[in-house]
């Protein structure tokens, strides 16, 4: 079961719920998600941000007396925030799980959030780069323009070669990369680890970063901190910043946006765009959907099926070729 009765119960001493009481409930909820469900850090952060937005809307309303009609007003509030469909749906899920938790703790007698319908998301086409655009993007870091152009090329190659999420690549460690065997281990949501092949070009880019640029980065870090390179806390991170620290998620986003603009692509391109492109191009090449699911680390095949829209022309040609009435 998702919730159990063996934890210390939270209590509410009065009907008027103060902001400090709300904060206490939220902190307890996040601890529950962390310790008992072992959710990923980014998921925990999303839950917290969603519920902080809910508390902003809640104001002086009494949570114990909220009705479904009032919660429907909250959905209208979310609509007015110009959220994407996926973000809006996630807010609703966050609210339902939080109310379920409060009910299990005896704070709420009823749970009107359970009656909120799950928002049916539009099956939107993910933003995908053409193969030509990918080729241009991967070679866009240049030695005369970019301080760590070999690192940047290796990062771009790894994104496209593995389909990793940005958090997975940021947290990847050198022992996770097995160059001679041609694969790496990605640690995804819920600390689930999966095996992902690496292509030849990504391996070449990785080797150049490791031998031609990384030693100078480590030397700068040692001079600045006085800590020997093997003893620094970020010593085994695959990708480092200019100062020798583990590269930040935000830096990865900024890096891809910079090179996207350089080749004349949309500045809305993100690490996830390369993940989408990776999966789409695999499907176009004839890969099985289940294989793509395994490489991407999707828990459900339903998540992977969003990519089936991209190859309608190929599927139609296969149908015409092989079906007796094609």
Q: Which of 53, 96, 165, 276 is catalytic?
A: 165
Distance CA 170, CA 255 (A): 13
In 3D space, the residue among 168, 99, 141, 169 whose CA is nearest the CA of residue 260 turns out to be 141
Active site residue 298: yes
Active site residue 307: yes
Q: Which of 21, 48, 49, 189 is catalytic?
A: 189
Q: How many CB atoms lie within 10 A of CB 6?
A: 4
Please report the pLDDT score of residue 292 as a whole number: 87
Active site residue 272: yes
Q: Which of 90, 275, 276, 281 is catalytic?
A: 275
Q: Which of 53, 151, 246, 298 is catalytic?
A: 298
pLDDT in tens, the chain (326 residues): 445 444 444 444 433 445 678 888 899 999 888 887 777 788 889 899 999 999 989 888 888 888 887 888 888 888 888 887 778 888 888 898 899 888 888 888 888 887 776 554 434 546 789 899 999 999 999 999 999 999 999 999 999 999 999 999 999 999 999 999 999 999 887 788 899 999 899 999 999 999 999 999 999 999 999 999 999 999 999 999 999 999 999 999 999 999 999 999 888 888 989 998 998 888 888 888 888 888 888 877 777 777 765 555 555 665 566 666 65
């Amino acid at each position: 079961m998702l919730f159990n009765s063996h934890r210390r119960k939270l209590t509410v001493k009065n009907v008027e719920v103060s902001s400090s009481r709300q904060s206490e409930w939220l902190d307890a909820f996040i601890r529950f998600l962390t310790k008992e469900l072992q959710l990923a850090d980014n998921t925990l952060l999303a839950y917290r941000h969603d519920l902080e937005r809910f508390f902003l809307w809640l104001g002086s309303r009494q949570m114990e007396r909220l009705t479904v009609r009032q919660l429907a007003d909250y959905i209208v509030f979310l609509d007015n925030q110009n959220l994407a469909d996926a973000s809006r749906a996630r807010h609703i899920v966050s609210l339902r799980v939080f109310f379920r938790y409060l009910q299990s703790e005896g704070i709420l007698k009823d749970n009107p959030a359970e009656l909120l319908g799950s928002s049916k998301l539009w099956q939107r086409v993910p933003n995908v780069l053409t193969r030509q655009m990918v080729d241009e993007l991967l070679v866009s870091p240049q030695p005369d323009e970019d301080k760590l152009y070999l690192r940047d090329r290796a990062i771009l190659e790894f994104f496209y070669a593995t389909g990793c999420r940005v958090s997975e690549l940021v947290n990847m460690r050198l022992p996770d990369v097995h160059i001679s065997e041609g694969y790496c281990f990605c640690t995804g949501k819920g600390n689930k680890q999966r095996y992902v092949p690496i292509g030849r070009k990504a391996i070449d880019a990785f080797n150049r970063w490791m031998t031609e640029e990384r030693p100078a980065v480590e030397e700068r870090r040692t001079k600045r901190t006085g800590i020997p390179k093997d003893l620094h806390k970020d010593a085994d991170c695959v990708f480092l910043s200019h100062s020798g620290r583990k590269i930040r998620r935000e830096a990865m986003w900024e890096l891809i946006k910079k090179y996207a603009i350089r080749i004349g692509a949309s500045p809305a391109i993100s690490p996830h765009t390369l993940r989408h492109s990776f999966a789409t191009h695999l499907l176009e090449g004839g890969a099985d959907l289940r294989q793509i699911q395994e490489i991407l680390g999707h828990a459900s095949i339903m998540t992977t099926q969003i990519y089936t829209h991209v190859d309608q022309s190929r599927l139609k040609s296969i149908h015409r070729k092989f079906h007796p009435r094609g």
